[in-house]
């Protein structure tokens, strides 16, 4: 009797290397289709182009363009889920002087870190005024501390291996029952109880980002108060910033002042200026 041979771990469809190849293949197909689409767009009559440009704006772009970007974002979101982790590295691989990039929302004043508090607005149902809670840095530090060494990627094209420390966003939401209608900890297996979006903004409101809840609850999304094992420096967003490895750096908001959970997609600084709302890797 012949016994059926079990596939080796590396041959299984869910093996990490095979997942990477499958995702990269899908991205290549999507990129090729995008090039073909834009090539075809060059042949569109001038009248049609003018019609597209004349459509009502939606988050900084004519509506047809925004719909194309949203479709691409939906595909990216389908490929990157909670089980998909970005590669991590030993601490020795991290740069000692991480690059500072972007200062919107970080005015050149003497920000009083000791007086900082995190304001959280949680709207449990549409049309209902959100409940408001405030948290101190000590509240965040009381949660399990997590370190993450990964390749931080900027949408401008550069990347660095950086070493961050803080609390998982998911641990914070679970501890205080945030982002749900029931007031219980969030659970991706019960999407009906989840608020679909979370928005963040700096204390002065100058910079702001919007996230879908699955990305916010990703196990590698951190609320960081340390960089290279020491308290977060002001240029990197002291006292608390977001680090979300499954997105480009524009989503990793520095100096979080307010968190807002909601049913409607929150505003996003760069999406309003024509970028993809998701900017997922």
Q: What is the pLDDT of residue 78?
A: 57
Instruction: Classify residue 186 by burial, with Cβ atoms within 10 Å: 0-12, 13-18, 19+.
Output: buried
Q: For the chain, what is the mean pLDDT? A: 81
Q: What is the pLDDT of residue 29?
A: 45
Is the pLDDT confidence value at 165 over 90? Answer: yes
The pTM for the full model equals 0.74
If pLDDT is split at 50, 70 and 90, which confidence band does 14 have? very low
Q: What residue ranges do the domains of the chain occupy?
A: 14-79, 91-273
Is the pLDDT confidence value at 32 over 70? Answer: no
List the structure tokens of 69: 């970007």
Residue 21: phi and psi, rounded to 5, are -65, -40
CA 146, distance to chain mean position in Å, is: 18
Q: What is the pLDDT of residue 71?
A: 56
Of 17 and 78, the structure prediction assigns the larger pLDDT to 78
Of 63 and 4, the structure prediction assigns the larger pLDDT to 63
* pLDDT (mean) for 44-71: 58
Q: What is the pLDDT of residue 213?
A: 94
To the nearest whole percent, how much of the chain has pLDDT over 90? Answer: 56
**Per-position DSSP letters for 168-207, written without gaps between them:** EHHHHHHHHT-SBSSSSPP-TT-GGGB-SEEEEE-TTSSS
Q: What is the pLDDT of residue 136?
A: 97
Q: Could you give the CA distance from residue 249 to residue 271 in angstroms, rounded to a whole number?
A: 14
If pLDDT is split at 50, 70 and 90, which confidence band does 110 have? confident
Is the pLDDT confidence value at 30 over 60? Answer: no
The 10 Å Cβ neighbour count of residue 109 is 7
Give, in degrees to the nearest 5, the angle at Cα 35 between 14 and 249: 60
Most trustworthy range by pLDDT among 54-68, 133-147, 263-277: 133-147
Residue 209: phi and psi, rounded to 5, are -135, 160
Q: What is the pLDDT of residue 178?
A: 95
Q: What is the pLDDT of residue 75?
A: 56
* pLDDT (mean) for 244-260: 96
Over the stretch 121-145, which tens digit does the pLDDT of each residue have? 987 666 667 789 999 999 999 999 9
Q: What is the pLDDT of residue 34?
A: 43
Is the pLDDT confidence value at 6 over 80? Answer: no
Domain made up of 91-273: CATH architecture:
Alpha-Beta Complex (3.90)
Instruction: Say if CB 234 and CB 112 are below 8 A apart.
Output: no
* pLDDT (mean) for 74-98: 81
Q: What is the DSSP letter of 271?
A: G
Of 192 and 76, the structure prediction assigns the larger pLDDT to 192
């Amino acid at each position: 009797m012949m016994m059926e041979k079990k596939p080796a771990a590396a041959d299984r469809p869910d093996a990490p290397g095979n997942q990477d190849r499958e995702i990269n293949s899908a991205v290549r197909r999507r990129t090729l289709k995008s090039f073909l689409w834009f090539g075809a767009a060059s042949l569109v009559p001038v009248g049609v182009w003018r019609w597209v440009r004349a459509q009502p704006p939606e988050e900084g772009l004519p509506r047809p363009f925004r719909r194309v970007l949203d479709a691409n974002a939906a595909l990216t979101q389908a490929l990157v889920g909670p089980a998909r982790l970005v590669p991590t590295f030993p601490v020795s691989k991290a740069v000692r002087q991480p690059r500072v990039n972007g200062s919107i929302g970080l005015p050149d004043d003497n920000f009083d870190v000791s007086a900082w508090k995190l304001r959280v607005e949680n709207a449990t149902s549409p049309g209902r005024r959100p409940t408001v809670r405030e948290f101190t840095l000590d509240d965040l530090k009381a949660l399990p501390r997590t370190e993450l060494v990964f390749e931080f990627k900027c949408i401008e094209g550069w990347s660095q291996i950086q070493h961050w420390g803080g609390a998982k966003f998911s641990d914070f939401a679970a501890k205080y029952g945030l982002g749900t209608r029931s007031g219980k900890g969030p659970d991706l297996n019960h999407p009906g109880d989840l608020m679909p979006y979370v928005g963040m903004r700096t204390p002065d409101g100058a910079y702001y980002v919007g996230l879908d809840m699955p990305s916010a609850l990703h196990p590698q999304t951190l609320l960081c108060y340390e960089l290279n094992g020491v308290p977060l420096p002001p240029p990197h967003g002291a006292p608390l910033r977001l680090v979300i490895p499954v997105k480009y750096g524009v989503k990793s908001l520095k100096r979080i002042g307010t968190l807002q959970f909601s049913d409607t997609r929150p505003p996003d600084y760069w999406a309003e200026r024509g970028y993809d709302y998701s900017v997922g890797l």
